[in-house]
């Protein structure tokens, strides 16, 4: 399954103006009951669809242009429900225009991964005024009052990151007695970044208080921008040359820190965290430059969101498995909660075995020896 999806990505199909999920030779603009399409902009949305999906950008994480659209397409195709999957490319006004276009063209359910609370809230309000239910996907829209939220346990993501960092430093030969920890957080405008931070600060603050760790620089990276994260970490390291560990909120920011550490000959000597189990992040883990990544199986998340959207479209009553309190509105949002998994060098193979990452893509020439050591390839 994963190999076929990666083949689509490699062929560049996921970034074309319109893409069908059908393999039967249908027209690119087809939006029949067994098709899902990917579109790059509001003016390029092809025809009507039962379900509209708006993803946030292509820069903060590779998942938004590869894994999510591919898995969502496959799920909608399997359900025989038409869908339009579009990407806002980091533009909040575009995000709102895409939603308006999808709703105008008759979408009966919206799935959104917001860029910020304001634009997300505007889209939800527009949809509700038309009687269209909205699913917050991966990111909760604060004070938005979406009908459902589908995501991973994001505080647990942060908890797993901090516990792994603690273990990596405890196991590291010649680690400083009281290592200075730098925190490279996600975007201030992303509620998930705050949830991740709540999770890892719950662990780190106790370690700061008891003297196990020393608190170093702690900054949010606007829009999860990896280039800005690299510049910010370079300044952190200049101000705190004794940084002994980096709690980076995702693999992109983790790699930004690793690039700076590599320039100083410190990669592998200063443990760095991440999340998303990206190919780059997993390769950094295999190389020993990254201590941990967090595997959030996007297929599980996409399947859960698609299944929920299809049921809402079909007017099927859905039981509420859990609820999450919106910290701004105080309302409790029905929550489909998924479990994350910490990935270190010892269990990278489990991500490959799941089909999330292809061994050939991961184990390029530079990483073949590490892949053999991890028993990913022979």
Give residue-wise pLDDT tens across range 305-335.
999 999 999 999 999 999 999 999 999 999 9
201 alpha carbon, distance to own chain's centre: 20
Residue 21 confidence (pLDDT) above 80 = no
Asked whether the predicted pLDDT for residue 217 surpasses 60, the reply is yes
DSSP E strand boundaries for the chain: 36-39, 51-55, 83-87, 109-112, 134-137, 148-152, 180-185, 214-220, 243-248, 293-295, 323-325, 332-338, 341-343
**Residue for token digits 């429900």?**
81
Residue 8 has pLDDT above 50, yes or no: no
Predicted confidence band of residue 48 (pLDDT cuts 50, 70, 90):
confident
Residue with tokens 């799941």: 354
Mean pLDDT of 232-241: 98
Mean predicted lDDT score pLDDT of the chain: 89
Give the pLDDT score at 34: 41
Cα-Cα-Cα-Cα dihedral sign, residues 210, 215, 219, 221 = negative
Q: What percent of the chain has pLDDT over 90?
A: 84
* pLDDT above 70 coverage of the chain, percent: 88
Q: What Cα–Cα distance (Å) separates residue 176 from each residue in 171, 209, 264, 288, 296?
A: 12, 17, 18, 18, 31
Q: Tokens 């957080």, residue?
A: 185
pLDDT tier for residue 44 given thresholds of 50, 70 and 90: low
Averaged pLDDT for residues 119-136: 98
pLDDT at 38: 53
Residues found in the chain: 378
Q: How confident is the model at residue 25 (pLDDT cuts 50, 70, 90)?
A: very low
Query: Which pLDDT belongs to residue 59?
Result: 86
State whether residue 248 is helix, strand or coil. strand
Residue 60 has pLDDT above 90, yes or no: no
**What's residue 12's pLDDT?**
36
Tokens 């995702």 map to which residue? 250
Tokens of 141: 């829209």
Q: Measuring CA to CA, which residue among 233, 228, 226 is closest to residue 261?
A: 233
Q: Phi then psi for 107, rounded to 5 degrees?
A: -60, 135
Q: How confident is the model at residue 37 (pLDDT cuts 50, 70, 90)?
A: low
pLDDT 10s digits, 266-278: 999 999 999 999 9
- Across 103-122, average pLDDT: 97
Is 50 exceeded by the pLDDT of residue 173? yes
**How far is Cα 354 from Cα 297, in angstroms, rounded to an integer?**
9
Per-residue pLDDT tens over the stretch 61-109: 888 998 899 999 999 999 999 999 999 999 999 999 999 999 999 999 9
Q: What is the mean pLDDT of residues 13-37?
A: 34
Choice among 47-51, 90-94, 218-222 with the minimum mean pLDDT: 47-51
CA distances from 4 to 226, 345, 358, 378 (A): 29, 26, 10, 23
């Amino acid at each position: 399954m994963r190999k076929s999806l990666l083949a689509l990505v490699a062929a560049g199909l996921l970034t074309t103006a319109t893409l069908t999920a059908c393999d039967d030779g249908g027209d690119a603009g087809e939006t029949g009951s067994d098709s899902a399409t990917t579109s790059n902009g509001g003016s390029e949305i092809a025809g009507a669809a039962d379900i509209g999906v708006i993803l946030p950008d292509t820069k903060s994480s590779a998942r938004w242009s590869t894994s999510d659209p591919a898995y969502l397409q496959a799920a909608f195709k399997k359900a025989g429900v038409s869908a339009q999957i579009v990407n806002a490319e980091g533009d909040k006004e575009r995000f709102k225009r895409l939603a308006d276009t999808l709703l105008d063209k008759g979408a009966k359910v919206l799935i959104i991964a917001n860029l910020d609370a304001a634009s997300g809230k505007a889209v939800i309000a527009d949809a509700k005024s038309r009687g269209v239910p909205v699913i917050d996907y991966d990111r909760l829209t604060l004070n938005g009052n979406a009908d459902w939220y589908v995501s991973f346990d994001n505080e647990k993501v942060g908890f797993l990151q901090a516990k792994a960092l603690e273990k990596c430093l405890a196991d590291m030969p010649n680690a400083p007695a009281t290592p200075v920890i730098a925190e490279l957080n996600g975007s201030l405008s992303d509620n998930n970044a705050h949830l991740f931070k709540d999770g890892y600060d719950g662990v780190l603050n106790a370690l700061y208080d008891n003297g196990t760790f020393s608190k170093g620089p702690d900054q949010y990276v606007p829009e999860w921008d990896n280039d800005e994260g690299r510049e910010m970490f370079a300044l952190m390291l200049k101000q705190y040359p004794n940084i002994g560990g980096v709690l980076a909120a995702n693999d992109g920011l983790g790699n930004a820190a690793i690039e700076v550490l590599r320039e100083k000959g410190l990669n592998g000597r200063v443990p760095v965290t991440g999340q998303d189990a990206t190919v780059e992040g997993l390769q950094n883990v295999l190389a020993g430059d990254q201590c941990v990544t967090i595997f959030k199986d996007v297929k599980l998340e996409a399947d859960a969101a698609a299944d929920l959207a299809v049921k809402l479209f079909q007017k099927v009553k859905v039981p509420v498995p859990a609820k999450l309190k919106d910290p701004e509105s105080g309302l409790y949002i029905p929550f489909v909660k998924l479990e994350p998994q910490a990935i270190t060098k010892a269990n990278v193979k489990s991500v490959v075995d799941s089909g999330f990452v292809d061994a050939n893509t991961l184990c390029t020439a530079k990483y073949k020896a590490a892949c053999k050591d991890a028993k990913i390839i022979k």
